[in-house]
A and B are shown apart, each in its own frame.
Chain A
Amino acid sequence: MNSDEEYRQRKTEGLDRGAESLLKRTIYILLFLIVAAAICLGIVRATLKSGTTIRVTETQINKSLAKKFPVEKTHLKIIHTRLDQPRVQLHHDQDTMQIEATAQVSQYSNRLNLARSRSAPTKPVPRPRRC
């Protein structure tokens, strides 16, 4: 075997070893990720199996509700209402919720310009002239 061939063989072996170590490293990383994911899933499953609770406080509800107010509505084109400043109270003994709010009730007709809805004044009809 001449030196040129030896050199080529060594180079090929070196490349093979490099590829092999890269493959091994990838497999180890994949295995680590799989084990980590399994542990995480196990923890989540164990937590959910034993049961967990999410708590939403009155303050959180009040903040959320404040964004939805004031609520204005007109009923039957007669009454106009405006609800504002809501405050929520939670009563655990009755499992109920109370909303305290200020309500303004007004006649919707006050807002309408009724004069405009009347028929327009007609032009006076000229009387026929007698000859």
Chain B
Amino acid sequence: MLIEGGIAFEASEGTFYFTNAELISIDSQQKVPEKLREPLRKAVSLIAKETLNRLPVYTLKEGELKEDMAKMILRDVRIEDGRVALSIQLP
């Protein structure tokens, strides 16, 4: 199954969370009867949302100057080419 969502950064913990999980597709190994496909999709979608919403995906390392700074003076979180970029800047 493929689930899409956003990413949120909790500065106090230095943790990235997966948010707004939405089921995109299911690729079933077993043949599911036509009339069961929609209920199954709904059930899997609910389960995926419940399981993956607010799932911590990555925590910044403790004791590294830049990463500790990010917890204090984070300006922006965005997704670049295959990377999550955290911008830190003094006000």
Contact = CB atoms under 8 A, between A and B. Distances in A.
Interface of A: 44-45, 48-58, 60-61, 64-65, 68, 71, 73, 75, 79, 81, 83, 88, 90-92, 95-103, 105
Max count, chain A CB within 10 A of own CB: residue among B43, B46, B51: B51
B83 A49 contact: no
A75 to B, nearest CB: 6
Interface string B75-90: 1001111111111111
Contacts of B58: 56, 60-61, 64-65
Contacts of A79: 43, 47
A52 B88 contact: yes
The prevalent SS among residues of A at the interface is: strand
B4 A95 contact: no
Nearest to A87: B2
Contacts of A88: 57
A54 B5 contact: no
B48 A105 contact: no
B90 A56 contact: no
Interface of B: 1-7, 16, 18, 21, 24, 26, 40, 43-44, 46-48, 50-52, 55-60, 65-67, 69-70, 73, 75, 78-90
Contacts of B69: 48
A54 B3 contact: no
B28 to A, nearest CB: 10
Contact of B79 (A51, A53, A81, A92): A92
B4 to A, nearest CB: 5
Contacts of A103: 1, 26, 44, 47-48
A102 to B, nearest CB: 8
Given A54-B85, A90-B84, 9 more contacts: A48-B69, A48-B89, A52-B66, A65-B58, A91-B79, A92-B82, A95-B78, A99-B21, A101-B3
